[in-house]
Structure 1
């Protein structure tokens, strides 16, 4: 990582050393918000932002995301977690308490097409994508120059279906060595095995070159052109073992017409892909997503 990026991250960490986030999902019932608020008050924590949603106030599921400021949070976090454990048991909560200054470590996987990778790196350089981009892994060499110019480690690991197991063993070891929190598939054109996916539940974000579920699979733009579509789009989602059917995080579309040939569709599609993926990654890094069954709640 460059000195410039290290300084940006260091400044962010200092500014947010007392900032925390809480994500909760649980069966809806009276008293949840009151219990959480009283706990924060007992630690002299001030709630900065709060968003909540219920699928149904009677028998539904309740979700909440809270951002808060707490003096000397590092010293209080363990005791706060112990108290939340008690509340969690009372309300049958799934919860996650996060310290904002602990920047997430990201690994980016890419193949030959670089538009999504370049968008992520630009957002990262500008300080709008707050992560420690620890490494880039690719089954091709096209991205090496761009990545190494930013002092990010680049690993070229050729891959195909015949050697997938050996390739993933190398990849998984790298992810472990770098202590990775999030994996971003920036047009990585290889299918991941169930073992790989299960090792990182809701931590692998993919970009799909269509507005799901249309035109799943190979040559989507050619098929869309042949079909005479009037809109094209892109979908970012968490990876599951059901190919391209994981929880959707973000989608977008653009209108096209009869004058747009396949090459033009690909250019329009690439623009949508990179912006949709960048937004999905940002929301994950900002702890704005709760996965519920095969859907997402995005605050």
Structure 2
């Protein structure tokens, strides 16, 4: 893990695989006195894609502003047909949590944030049930209750958009938020909405996965965290985990065991996203070390 006292920049790159990519990025950093802290790369031979994450110390780096760094790197990226994004440790992401009635994932993320495990700001929580208000406000975070029905979905999302824009939110986490986001919502926040699904996808997508898993007599249950797309439970997978169950477990047992998986899997995915370790491409992800 990077020393939190350091100010760093992180570059995520994907490009058609060809010779000279690593050299071009390294030379750019060397020319501007960049000290590399972490570097990781991956080649997807089937897609002919090169993917890389590189993080460097900004102390002593000759380009000091985001604009200057991005402007200087743009010609390098253009020459190699790179898709790229840059993140800076001193610009903490602003994350909103969406929730319904289930508290376990919400409570876990709020606790991890309070003890400093999640490096971000949480300016608000939005829920479609009042039952979690006390939990959220006990952490000193504003809670906004927005009721959603079939008839008011567009108006409800308009209120959500207004709150998110006012709070300058760039990341949204669905902490067991039991509502389907509209295509407009997903399009507005591409690869910035993280969901937890209480199943090891692609098995048992959609509603009541524990009930269907029990009916099938499975021996393993799981949880999956993924970026949300317009296709329900079909977005790029960030993290998964499983636990063993037996014929003696009823649905309630599966739900109880699954809660722990859901918390762990969602927290890992959120943490990696906040650390700029996840690169999404072709509906899958690379999670860099």
- Compute the TM-score of the two structures, normalised by the length of structure 1: 0.92
- Higher mean alpha-carbon deviation, 212-221 vs 110-119, is at 212-221
Name the residue aligned to 1:60: 48
Name the residue aligned to 1:136: 125
Runs of 5+ unmatched residues, structure 1? 1-10
User: Do 1:44 and 1:71's aligned partners in 2 also have CA atoms closer than 8 Å?
Assistant: no
- Compute the TM-score of the two structures, normalised by the length of structure 2: 0.95
CA shift, 1:72, in A, is: 5.3
Give the SS at the match of 2:247: coil
1:278-297, CA deviations, whole angstroms, 9 ceiling, x for partnerless residues? 00000100000111111011
Distance, in Å, in 2 between the alignment partners of 1:31 and 1:59 is 18
Name the residue aligned to 2:163: 174
Instruction: Name the Cα RMSD after superposition.
Output: 1.5
User: Do 2:223 and 2:240's aligned partners in 1 also have CA atoms closer than 8 Å?
Assistant: yes
CA shift, 1:139, in A, is: 0.3
1:213-259, CA deviations, whole angstroms, 9 ceiling, x for partnerless residues? 21222222122112211000011010001011011111110000011
Distance, in Å, in 1 between the alignment partners of 2:90 and 2:8 is 7
Pick from 156, 181, 195: which aligns with 2:145? 156
Instruction: Tell me which stretches of 4 or more aligned residues in structure 1 moved more than 6 Å.
Output: none
Distance, in Å, in 2 between the alignment partners of 1:76 and 1:106 is 23
Distance, in Å, in 2 between the alignment partners of 1:293 and 1:93 is 15
Please list, as runs of the form range in 1=range in 2, the aligned pairs for 1:141-220 lying within 5 A after superposition.
141-220=130-209
Aligned CA distance change for structure 1 residues 72 and 176 (closer, same or farther; 3 Å): farther
1:59-103, CA deviations, whole angstroms, 9 ceiling, x for partnerless residues? 710000011112255725433222210001100001112211110
User: Do 2:241 and 2:261's aligned partners in 1 also have CA atoms closer than 8 Å?
Assistant: yes
Higher normalized helix content (fraction of residues): 1
Name the residue aligned to 1:275: 264
Distance, in Å, in 1 between the alignment partners of 2:121 and 2:188 is 20
CA shift, 1:206, in A, is: 0.4
Give the SS at the match of 2:199: coil
Runs of 5+ unmatched residues, structure 2? none
Name the residue aligned to 1:83: 72
